[in-house]
Amino acid sequence: MRKDSRLSRMLHILIHMDHMDEPATSDHIAIILQTNPVVVRRTMGCLRDKGYVTSVKGHGGGWRLNVALADITLLDIHNALGESSVFTIGLSDENTECLIEKAVNRELANALKASEDLLLARFGEVSLDKLAI
């Protein structure tokens, strides 16, 4: 299963954008991320919808950071990207009447939920300026 790297990739780009004098075009960001500009526009659109970046069309246009890095947390970007879970571990549901499967699923679900809560709380404590070098 492929890992979802949108969070780390967008954190990377937002910190770069903080150092840029000019707007970052989707083409330029795509080169940095080694992806397609359409993917960049779609993903950056999620951040624009939450107010973290702005975009200007046409010659000289591109993406600009709209909020100071100190005012953006990892959790903010995670939420803006619409991620539902930080883990890709799935639960078995093939034998939903099996008591053992139910017990295993219950314990795994509880452990995953506790881990996710802890991780997301930590995300909320880390602002992007702490990552910038």
84 has pLDDT over 70: no
pLDDT at 93: 73
Q: Residue 108 burial (CB < 10 Å; 0-12/13-18/19+)?
A: middle
Adjacent-strand bridge partners of 65: 53
Residue-averaged pLDDT of the chain: 91
Q: In the structure encoding, which two tokens stand for residue 75, read together?
A: 């959790």
Q: pTM for this one?
A: 0.85
Query: What is the rounded distance in angstroms from the CA atom of residue 108 to the CA atom of residue 113?
Result: 8
pLDDT over 70, % of the chain: 95
Domain boundaries, the chain: 6-130
User: 6-130 — its CATH code?
Assistant: 1.10.10.10
pLDDT at 83: 64
CB-CB contact of 47 with 37 (8 Å): no
Query: What is the rounded distance in angstroms from the CA atom of residue 29 to the CA atom of residue 3?
Result: 20
Q: What is the pLDDT of residues 27-71, one digit of tens each?
A: 999 999 999 999 999 999 999 999 999 999 888 889 999 999 999
